[in-house]
Amino acid sequence: MDAETTRGYLSSLPFVVESVSETTRWGDKLVFRVGDQSIGGKMFSQIDFEEDGRAILSFATDPERFEELCEGDGVIQAPYRARLHWIALQRWNAFSDAELKKLLRDAIAITFAKLPKKTRDLVSSGGK
């Protein structure tokens, strides 16, 4: 997969809201949330456009698999989010397309489960 394919895939999934982060501090990123931020939606993944060599895609993962996933070639602990069990890819082919899609669906499920019940209900009802 690449940035456009990943973006298209994530945008096709239920409850996913895409936004752009253009900050001097964190750089240009395409941010994906479970639900809209205005109703309490939380970020589960981001595509980084900065060419600093650190990461191109980062996302939430299962705490049980965090260390195992970080042992893979081209996978590191996500800068600033490792304590939240986020991993980061240094190259697009660090996982097969099928495995990456599964990991991204898992990231959505993990993040959705952490939302307060009220927010989960709003997101589920289409409140985005």
For residue 85, the domain's CATH number is 3.90.1150.30
Long-range contacts of 36-42 (CB under 8 A, 24+ apart): 36/127, 36/128, 39/119, 39/122, 39/123, 39/127, 39/128, 40/115, 40/116, 40/118, 40/119, 40/122, 41/17, 41/115, 41/119, 41/123, 41/128, 42/111, 42/114, 42/115
Q: Say if 8 falls within a structural domain.
A: yes
Residue 36 burial class via C-beta count within 10 angstroms: exposed 0-12, middle 13-18, buried 19 and up: middle
The pair of three-digit structure tokens given for residue 11, joined into one six-digit string:
């945008």
The whole model's pTM is what?
Answer: 0.90
Domain that holds residue 45: 3-117
> What is the number of domains present in the chain?
1
- Residue 42 parent element (H or E): strand 42-48
pLDDT in tens, 17-67: 998 775 555 567 889 999 999 999 999 999 987 666 567 899 999 999 999
pLDDT of residue 70: 95
In a domain, 19, yes or no: yes
Instruction: Determine what percent of the chain is predicted with pLDDT higher than 70.
Output: 90
- 98 occurs within a structural domain: yes
